[in-house]
Amino acid sequence: MPVRKDRDILPAPHAQTPAEVLKVLRTDPELGLSSNEVEERRQKYGPNKLPDPPKKSKLLQLLEQFVNPLVLTLLAAAIVAVVVGFSSSEGSVLSRFGDAIAILLIVILNALLGYFQEQRAEAALDALQKMTAPTARVKRDGQVSVIPAAELVPGDILELDTGDAIPADSRLVQSITLAAEEAMLTGESTASGKDAHAIVDNVAPIGDRETMVFMGTTIVRGKGRAVVVATGVHTELGRIGEMINKAVDEKTPLEQRLDSFGKKILWACLAISVALFAWGMFRHERHWSELLLEAVSLAVAAIPEGLPAITTITLALGMQRMAKLGAIVRKLPAVETLGAASVICTDKTGTLTQNEMTVRVVWAAGQQFSVLGQGYDPKGGFERDGEPIDPGALPSPLQYLLATAALCNNAVLDKDAETGLYKVIGDPTEGALLTLAAKAQVPRESLTPKHRVVGEVPFDSDRKRMTVITLDTRGRQIAHVKGSVDVLLPRCVKYADLDGVRVLTDADRDLIISTAEKMSRQALRVLALARRISPEGDPEEKLTFLGLVGMIDPPRVGVKEAIATCNVAGIRAVMITGDHKLTAVAISEELGLWAEGDEAMTGAELQDLSQDDLLKRLMHIRVFARTTAEQKLRIVKAYKSIGHVVAMTGDGVNDAPALREAHIGIAMGRGGTDVARQASDLVLADDNFATIVEAIREGRAIYRNIQKFIFFLLSSNAGLCVAVFVLAFKGWPPLTPLMILWINLVTNGLPALALGIDPADPNQMKEAPRSSGSGLLGAREAYGIPFVGIVMGVMAVLLYVFTPDGTKEQMVIARNLAFSVLAISPLMHAFSCRSSIHSFLSQRPFISLPLIGAVLISASIHLVAVLVPALQPVFKTHWMSLDEWSRVLLFSAVIIPAMELIKLVQRMFGTRAAPSRPAAQTDTAE
């Protein structure tokens, strides 16, 4: 079916009049489209649904696990071992092909482990599809019917009512007190008022398009009629889906470093192996199959086969620890990446704040009252001048105000039976007023028996006020009115004072206006409340002014402390929000996010800014306000372009593309959307920003532990390389590939894992993030690896040198002893690897029980290979005497004083490790 691909079916419909839009779309608001026209447009524009995301087959996902330099080298080594096995006619099949079988088993095990760990589902677009409305009320052929939302086409006429989910982007034709909840697209915590006849700028951001309603949002108040202007991928939701689909899944810093590291090891071991093979062929002393097996042995010795598996297991254990903290990791490398974050781009609504409008201040009868409590939970109270006030002792004007707040209201507070949490059904602002009244023990349920609603004048964006008329038990009609101060105050003639109702004076008006302005400067949304008893004529005239309420979407508990910790740790936190600049700056100041010299920028200002100018100002901007999904994506890319490791937090659909683009996306688990969660790497189960700090702490500890076990594995492998190279050069009996694999994976694997769970350094959160360009290992490790390799390798070779006579049998015995030295020496070396500079005697805690247990188990496993008669032919080992074991232990223990010596030298001469990134607060983009 041919489907139109261009996006702008109707350019900027929000800036055109309803008549202009209807004319372009050739539709009648009273009749709708005809059945024939609907079918033609469906053929032209396609179904109103989001496309299924492309998915890799499971077979392809499994095969991708083998596309790795180290794994491919091992496969090549296995092929060579098979060829050598066929060329030899001596021994059993197991002894001839044991090396090849062992290598293949390791490769398959690594591939399966990676496959089962890499189950990060590409389900962001699936979640977007779930958010689309399943049905729509549409007018066609003059009749209103309910149809599947997927059947909508541009030009369809929608009938909208409170509670409806919007099935497609539509231009309003009629609106009656209409408002929509659009936080998932705009980030605004309050409902957006809608007006079919508003004048909207051509380039207005989504949050300011009063004439439009968008797919996936919800009508929270009023009624309306709209014409569909965009369906499926052409909608704002579809545009975000395309951005999610186009975003490249970049490798994390750890993955990049491991890949680079693996390639360097690969080329080095191949070069040495080829040189060794060529040297042997040049000397013409042995058969080519023996020389090839030695070359394979050297390659296997150089490659840290256990590194991928041990890294994966270490990250998985870290993932479990993070889950206990409330941070659910969806992609394993994200465990470590968070520890490298130097910039956190955080959404405001639902991330730093609760996404629950809360009344903070009430002003009545010239007195200001602070309101305690958070969100829609009716627990709380009132204070005046820091002193708590009993609800029964509240002054009469405030009690009148609370009654009006509860009665002039169409929202409902709903308590979840399972979680015990409160949510609002309806307008968030009205939910905040209901909660305010409930905190004073005046819930609406206690008022409605005495105040029967007999009339209502609903709110709309032109009137900016709402009135509910009730009949009390004394037979009086009372008009309860709420609205903006500039609209309501001119309609008031009386003033509720502590001494009763009196005439409203000019001085009273000036005081009310100045108080409202003061509250607005604190980023509070200010509403005025008034009433009139026994109204005649217009119930909204000759009102009695009751007071003001100031509300805000408040910060989450613990966020301020978390931001302070980020500052100490050298991590720059930046707010990116769809809300207004004034509100965003006020929240950032309250949280301690705002510092001297910081700037705030709106999305419109960002739109006009060139990329070069953005990069110059980037490190001075603390708040980005009124931003769109594309702009959030641009900001994340800008930080990445100047070398920062970027974490992005968010909970809405509009955050999803940036979450996907960031090095690590962090979504809210409780209050976030499915789209944000599926696009993220890490989900905060408790929606607590403070959990990020603990996750960063864990991430930094994990990275250091990865450095520890990489140094352990590489330095131990270096010992194998030295021994294999020297033995091959001298023509002495070499270690077999199976022996080397046994040492690399079986005996060295458990100590490496134990190093991966070493306790964290308590001072690591006082250090700046490591540089994104720094390598896996620092200067100390770069010197230490060859040093350890030489010591271990020389100790193994000396066992050949000190052989009583040079017979072949004695050399085979020497190989057996060297095998044990190269297996046990790393177990003793593991204790020195807990710190790159401090003595193992000064470690805190001094005893690492996991490491001691790992060493004992590994030593026991090695004894099995040496002592079990059935395995001796496989490993080419033999029973060793007490004298031989004494030599093995003596030569193995040499590494301990050797490491202590090099650490002492490093402490004396101050060999520096790889540098960390400068503190984020002092960074510049230049």
Name which of 515, 728, 625, 335 is nearest 737 in CA terms. Answer: 728
Name which of 248, 264, 352 is nearest 69 in CA terms. Answer: 264
3-state secondary structure of 853: helix
* Helix 253-283 vs helix 288-302: crossing angle, to nearest 10: 160
Residue 564 backbone dihedrals phi, psi, to 5 degrees: -60, -40
Beta-carbon contacts of 685 under 8 Å, excluding residues fewer than 6 positions away, are 323, 326, 327, 328, 669, 670
Residue 412 backbone dihedrals phi, psi, to 5 degrees: -135, 135
- Do the Cβ atoms of 824 and 866 come closer than 8 Å? no
Supply the Cα-derived Rg of the chain in whole angstroms.
Answer: 36
Please say if 347 is a catalytic residue. Answer: yes
Q: Which residue has the tokens 């029964």?
A: 392
- Do the Cβ atoms of 168 and 235 come closer than 8 Å? yes
Beta-carbon contacts of 312 under 8 Å, excluding residues fewer than 6 positions away, are 113, 114, 117, 332
How is residue 530 written in tokens? 């008034």
Rounded CA separation 110/1 (Å): 45
Task: Give the angle subtended at the CA of 848 by the CAs of 770 and 824, to the nearest 5°.
Answer: 95
Name which of 611, 597, 603 is nearest 642 in CA terms. Answer: 611
Rounded CA separation 32/512 (Å): 49
Please state whether beta strands 367-371 and 382-384 pair in parallel, antiparallel, or not at all (unpaired). antiparallel
Rounded CA separation 236/171 (Å): 13
Beta-carbon contacts of 118 under 8 Å, excluding residues fewer than 6 positions away, are 61, 65, 332
Rounded CA separation 859/821 (Å): 11
- Upper half-sphere CA count for residue 623 (Cβ side, 13 Å): 27
- Do the Cβ atoms of 622 and 587 come closer than 8 Å? no
Catalytic residue among 156, 169, 347, 579: 347
- Do the Cβ atoms of 140 and 33 come closer than 8 Å? yes
* Plot region of 160 (φ>0 → left; ψ -120 to 50 → alpha; else → beta): beta
Rounded CA separation 373/422 (Å): 13
Q: Would you give the end-to-end CA distance of the chain in angstroms?
A: 51
3-state secondary structure of 699: helix
How many C-beta neighbours within 10 Å does residue 521 have?
10
Q: Which residues pair with 412 in a beta bridge?
A: 425
Task: Report CA-CA distances (Å) from 553 to 229, 349, 368, 564, 871.
Answer: 33, 8, 20, 21, 69
Beta-carbon contacts of 423 under 8 Å, excluding residues fewer than 6 positions away, are 376, 413, 414, 416
3-state secondary structure of 567: helix
Name which of 889, 871, 635, 920 is nearest 767 in CA terms. Answer: 920
Instruction: Give the helix/strand (H/E) hosting 503.
Output: strand 500-503
Q: Is the peptide bond before 845 cis (omega within 30 degrees of 0)?
A: yes
Amino acid at 340: A
Rounded CA separation 409/466 (Å): 9
How is residue 762 written in tokens? 């308590």
Please state whether beta strands 599-602 and 621-625 pair in parallel, antiparallel, or not at all (unpaired). parallel
Rounded CA separation 20/11 (Å): 12
Catalytic amino acids? 347
